[in-house]
Amino acid sequence: YSHIYSSANFPLEDNGRTYHVSTKPGEVANRVVTVGDHYRAFQIAEFFDNVTKEDLDVQDPGPYEIKKPHLFMYMSKRKFLTITGTYQGVPVSVVAICMGLPMMDFFIRETRHVVKGPMAIIRFGSCGTIKDIETGSIAVATGAFMVSRNYNYFINKNEESPYLISDACSGDKELQELLYKNLKKECKNENIKIIKGLNGSADSFYSSQARHDNNFIDCNDQLFDDIRKKHPNCITLEMETFGLFHLAKCSSSTYHKKEEEEKPASKKVKLSNNNEIKAAATTMIFANRVNNTFISTEKVPILQDKMIKSILDSLIQINLGDEKNLQPVEGS
Ligand code: DUR
């Protein structure tokens, strides 16, 4: 893989692909569902127009590129999998990012770089709940906050608190309501609960989600109480949604921090009015952290099926303005 990169600031391969996600303009749609699991990404792509199981039967560990008239797939060296097709005639993409905030950051920044016009991004993942909500229920995030280890506490012990809990950042209200409404409709004949509330994104599956691990000093006995105190409406913990919501907020030209406003005009970051990201998130509750139960795996496919339909419907229903301002994608 020999490539000449255009710059160290935002490296692009000489063929125009971004450094980690490895897509270029025309390969990603303005409407995106992002997941962790590659297998889940293939299941979503099965809902795309004309896509068959055979289209998705890939053994190659990558990097690989598959181009068909109705389907584009790219697995990057870093294991970001992008699949683009249409859903009910509308261009949509699914991007699998594995796990955690750094992967979410790569995905949003690099995908944003190759798509013109406003975007709608829905995260579809799994989570644990800190309320007494049964596993197999569905959560829709009204907002997200960050739970991180206070690293200094573990270095010099002079710090007061071993964990830092940020303020909450909301997602896009309109997309959230569409998603909630579609999930309700899709699940009305099933015994599946759909709950709205705040989500905490943690920088570890273990320590900063208050799991105990005898191999490490984690000082997290008080963590659930601290989270509940600061965010009484917190229902779920996972590792990605805050990354999406906070970058979506920072992509809006109506949002500017004071420091930015005080800069001289020549130094100001000028956000285009047209590059807003509308973000929402829904998760399957896999773990109940109150009674320490975990979802039984046979429940997952039923949940996924209902959720994928609701997510894709919401993505094509959200208004992103004039079609002519959107990114044209190959094969649509
Ligand atoms: N996840 C959690 N905590 C849970 C259940 C699921 O973080 O209790 C999510 C986030 C991450 C992956 O992507 O699943 C870790 O298993």
For residue 196, what pLDDT band results from cuts at 50, 70 and 90? very high
User: Rounded to an integer, what distance in angstroms lies between the CA atom of residue 147 and that of residue 226?
Assistant: 10
Distances (CA, A) of 10 to 22, 25, 154, 317: 12, 15, 33, 33
Q: Is residue 126 within 8 Å of residue 284, measured between CB atoms?
A: yes
Is the bond preceding residue 63 a cis peptide, omega within 30 degrees? Answer: yes
- Token output for 61: 């560990």
DSSP three-state, residue 317: helix
Q: Is residue 111 part of a domain?
A: yes
Confidence check: pLDDT of 2 > 90? no
Question: Residue 212's Cα: distance from chain center in Å?
Answer: 26
Tell me which residue has its CA closest to atom 1 in ligand 1: 127
Ligand 1, residue 100: give the atom nearest the CA: 13
- Token output for 327: 């990114």
CA of 15 to the centre of ligand 1 (A): 35
Q: Is residue 8 part of a domain?
A: no
Q: Is residue 83 part of a domain?
A: yes
CA of 285 to the centre of ligand 1 (A): 9
DSSP three-state, residue 3: coil
Place of tokens 């509940």: 228
**Between 97 and 257, the higher pLDDT residue:** 97
Task: Tell me the best of 34, 99, 126 to mutate to test the pocket of ligand 1, counting ligand atoms within 8 Å of each CB and taking the most.
Answer: 126
Q: In sequence order, what are the residues at sequence separation of 6 or more whose Cβ sits closer than 8 angstroms to the Cβ of residue 255?
A: 249
Confidence check: pLDDT of 310 > 90? yes
Question: Quick check: CB of 129 below 6 Å from ligand 1?
Answer: no
For residue 1, what pLDDT band results from cuts at 50, 70 and 90? low
User: Rounded to an integer, what distance in angstroms lies between the CA atom of residue 259 and that of residue 268?
Assistant: 10
Nearest to 173 by CA among 152, 202, 196: 196
Confidence check: pLDDT of 317 > 90? yes
Tell me which residue has its CA closest to atom 2 in ligand 1: 238
Ligand 1, residue 202: give the atom nearest the CA: 7
Confidence check: pLDDT of 159 > 80? no
Confidence check: pLDDT of 73 > 90? yes
Q: Is residue 159 within 8 Å of residue 150, measured between CB atoms?
A: yes
ipTM of model: 0.99
Domain that holds residue 87: 31-263+272-325
Look at the chain and report how many structural domains it folds into: 1
Q: Is residue 12 part of a domain?
A: no
Task: Provide the 10 A C-beta neighbour count for residue 267.
Answer: 8
For residue 81, what pLDDT band results from cuts at 50, 70 and 90? very high
Q: Is residue 25 part of a domain?
A: no
Q: Is residue 23 part of a domain?
A: no
pLDDT on residue 326:
96
Question: Quick check: CB of 200 below 6 Å from ligand 1?
Answer: no
CA of 165 to the centre of ligand 1 (A): 18
Lowest pLDDT segment from 165-169, 189-193, 218-222, 233-237: 189-193
Q: Which percentage of the chain shows pLDDT scores above 90?
A: 86
Question: Residue 132's Cα: distance from chain center in Å?
Answer: 25
pLDDT digits (tens, 9 = 90+) for 258-302: 677 788 888 887 777 788 999 999 999 999 999 999 999 999 999
pLDDT on residue 273:
72
Q: Is residue 313 part of a domain?
A: yes
When the pLDDT of each residue in the chain is averaged and rounded to a whole number, the result is 94
Q: Is 2 exposed, middle or buried (0-12, 13-18, 19+ CB in 10 A)?
A: exposed
pLDDT on residue 8:
93
Confidence check: pLDDT of 125 > 80? yes
Question: Quick check: CB of 171 below 6 Å from ligand 1?
Answer: no
Question: Quick check: CB of 279 below 6 Å from ligand 1?
Answer: no
Question: Quick check: CB of 18 below 6 Å from ligand 1?
Answer: no
Nearest to 113 by CA among 208, 251, 301, 14: 251
Question: Quick check: CB of 243 below 6 Å from ligand 1?
Answer: no
Average pLDDT score over residue span 40-54:
97
Strand spans (E) along 155-313: 163-165, 169-170, 194-202, 234-238, 277-288, 293-294
Q: Which CATH number fits the domain that encloses residue 301?
A: 3.40.50.1580
